[in-house]
Structure 1
């Protein structure tokens, strides 16, 4: 158990400071700290956390990692305006910026409050600004100013929205009656319809195809916010509402399909390929925790105007020192590019011709951020470093032939001071521990231009190529590392295997590809544990490894 800790929490101004006592020590993540503050102080309004940074003369900076604070530090709550919904600054990698307010059942409705049913799912306009850290580059600052983009993944705590004015009045009275006498409400059809409509629109802000566990979470949040809606005769008290939500989301998608929302129409029967004429066949939906899987085109744009922007990009990439213009145009054409990738299933060689700017380190970082709202390189490397000690302990306890392989790899890591080599050894050890062969994805050659290398690269479906000087060992830096997809060399001159894995991981998202089957558990670990994308749903093998990591 960690040592107890205390933090000074400043609410807006220095005249309102309170002590937060943490009996079990500072939480392991910023998420946990956010929830602790919400619980202890009853905070309901949205806020982000800032800490005093010693590098900047104790000026307040946004808290991005729990490692940035210590016992007896001061944190400041910066409350976000709930009135200005057109522009909000949020940091997806810093949950403190997205604190979850649960509306009080006793709150009254106002004629100034917009009805949630009038909100178009594609009309959310928000600004996303990611703060820098030790691994972050300017490419990890992406601004979502167009209405087609979601700005956060499924929340840790689902927020029940405000319903229509009449629905709020009825629920407020019913909650009061339940509090006084325990009487449950049997909602009339109109009230149930209003509740489900509001819930469906709130769910769609995060996912068009919510999972069973997400629907369960939303239904549970509903009866917690409005206890009068709890159901008798069910194990959880919300199983009926979960069933209603499942049906409502299906109907809601049908309604959006009729008005042409691309994330829904891509799965309509008229858009199915030959031989896939069934509604449930080959459903195209997020499968790797993508937040912006298939967004709408920006407001005022058409496919024709987007094609003109794409052609203009081909000229811009030929200019020197033109990164800012390229980044702006790549952001503008993001939804158009996603529709081409998801709907048309274009070949990688064609994509390289049509979108050459995408196949650079900077734009792979930016594209990953647009899709998941999470920075790629900064989080990938920081999390690998964070888990190194715990993973080494697990690997050292492994026996048998795998244990011997792990010992040899870790011996290289122990005697080498190069952080890149240490990360490379960690990824290689992870593959061995999970009984997967890294050589099926990472091909090693002595000369990149040799006939053997050219043949090996052309036969590679998805992987990395590694070039070492003749006589060089695993403890030496490789001469070159590159990414190959469908026999096409997309990237090269990368720093290390770990850097190559990060870029391959980002390209899998950017090009809407599946993980290589030979390393499916390794990539699952990278996605769900390292990057914490859909980290609540793990295979038994990865779940067992994660449990050992935190024992």
Structure 2
């Protein structure tokens, strides 16, 4: 029963029961009958399981008691964790797809208490300096140092609300915070990757569709083409048209004067969106990112469409999200072709798009490679 309790505690807190670095430290804690450190992270609905970790054997539930609890209360929560049962827009640690540090261990020389102290220091700086504090070296160092704790809270089940996460980690909710977290999580520099990919194949993609429009939707995008339009935005619209996915599956267009309050009162989608502010098709320097009906961050006046797209893309990894059906193939394309995350197996697409999206993207990439080859041959013929 004791081992079962320790296992449940680790499953539902995404952390080890005792925060120790060496086995002798655990022996000391056990001798003192110290309660597991992980208990303070356990959600109230699972508190009954803490009895399994009682130091008094007679106080522990029997196997029959555990089975009864499983049937009455625990089973629905375990079912909700399963990838096949997860509803669109719901968050949770379904897999480690594309991540190199999905849940890192406690850094050497650190403890749960020291991690929490660093987190509180971040919130103190935010209360004193607001968003401007993000530019200080101290905030950058603290955000990197507390990555372990950020991941543990993001991976917790049930998933914490966005409001709660914002209060705990205010500096995560900015383009810089999300992009920095994504880099630690995947070992990928998303903006550098997007910019390099656009320079390498952005115009090639546009030329491919001009030469061989693949459907009526692609032709419509080309016919409505604005020559001053930002290349990455043009590429995204063409790719979405090719996959028969509406631009609204990723992008919300709003008035240039719209505020965060305006957007949050406008019935935003549950799944992530890049909100472009203003009618200009040229640079889209002002944008926001939304998720679960809330605005996560703003791009300000110095942003670009590429920065907005990159920040949007990080949300699927940071918050353990699957790609929404209405943009799954496009996001799979961004992931594999533009960002360069190419796991041998799996996909973040779900439902009927789980097999369709990777297949569509592979087919398109073959067309692109063939077109690139033909262009290269023509230059030397």
TM-score normalised by the chain length of structure 2: 0.64
Deviations 1:421-452 (A, max 9, x none): 11111111111111101113311122414997
User: Could you tell me which of 63, 81, 103 is aligned with 1:294?
Assistant: 103
User: Residue 194 of structure 2 contacts residue 338 of structure 2 at CA under 8 Å; is this kept in 1?
Assistant: yes
Mapping of residues 153-172 of structure 1, within 5 Å: none
Q: CA RMSD in A?
A: 3.1
User: Residue 367 of structure 1 contacts residue 510 of structure 1 at CA under 8 Å; is this kept in 2?
Assistant: yes
User: Could you tell me which of 181, 185, 191 is aligned with 1:367?
Assistant: 181
Deviations 1:140-197 (A, max 9, x none): xxxxxxxx9xxxxxxxxxxxxxxxxxxxxxxxxxxxxxxxxxxxxxxxxxxxxxxxxx
Structure 1 residue 408: deviation in Å? Answer: 2.6
Residue of structure 1 equivalent to 2:207: 393
Residue of structure 2 equivalent to 1:541: 360
Provide the C-alpha distance between the structure 2 equivalents of 1:539 and 1:364, rounded to a whole number of angstroms. 26
Pick closer, same or farther for the CA change 1:547–1:536 going to 2, 3 Å.
farther
User: Could you tell me which of 107, 123, 143 is aligned with 1:330?
Assistant: 143
Structure 1 residue 385: deviation in Å? Answer: 2.4
User: Residue 179 of structure 2 contacts residue 314 of structure 2 at CA under 8 Å; is this kept in 1?
Assistant: yes
Give structure 2 stretches of 5+ with no counterpart: 1-20, 22-36, 38-48, 51-69, 84-91, 346-356, 371-381
Provide the C-alpha distance between the structure 1 equivalents of 2:360 and 2:312, rounded to a whole number of angstroms. 23
Structure 1 residue 487: deviation in Å? Answer: 1.7
Residue of structure 2 equivalent to 1:466: 276
SS in 2 for 1:466: strand
User: Residue 153 of structure 2 contacts residue 160 of structure 2 at CA under 8 Å; is this kept in 1?
Assistant: yes
User: Could you tell me which of 289, 300, 316 is aligned with 1:508?
Assistant: 316
Provide the C-alpha distance between the structure 1 equivalents of 2:262 and 2:176, rounded to a whole number of angstroms. 31
SS in 1 for 2:287: strand
User: Residue 529 of structure 1 contacts residue 535 of structure 1 at CA under 8 Å; is this kept in 2?
Assistant: no
SS in 1 for 2:155: helix
Provide the C-alpha distance between the structure 1 equivalents of 2:319 and 2:232, rounded to a whole number of angstroms. 25
Structure 1 residue 540: deviation in Å? Answer: 1.2
Mapping of residues 108-507 of structure 1, within 5 Å: 274-277=75-78, 281-282=82-83, 284=93, 286-317=95-126, 318-319=128-129, 323-344=136-157, 345-396=159-210, 397-409=212-224, 411-412=225-226, 415-416=227-228, 421-446=230-255, 447-449=257-259, 453-456=263-266, 458-468=268-278, 472-474=279-281, 476-478=282-284, 480-494=286-300, 495-507=303-315
Pick closer, same or farther for the CA change 1:435–1:535 going to 2, 3 Å.
farther
Pick closer, same or farther for the CA change 1:297–1:490 going to 2, 3 Å.
same
Moved over 6 A (4+): none
Pick closer, same or farther for the CA change 1:390–1:295 going to 2, 3 Å.
same
Deviations 1:194-215 (A, max 9, x none): xxxxxxxxxxxxxxxxxxxxxx
Structure 1 residue 458: deviation in Å? Answer: 4.5
Residue of structure 1 equivalent to 2:334: 526
TM-score normalised by the chain length of structure 1: 0.45
Structure 1 residue 390: deviation in Å? Answer: 2.5
SS in 2 for 1:343: coil
How many residue pairs get aligned? The number is 275
Structure 1 residue 465: deviation in Å? Answer: 1.6
Give structure 1 stretches of 5+ with no counterpart: 1-147, 149-259, 261-269
Mapping of residues 64-75 of structure 1, within 5 Å: none
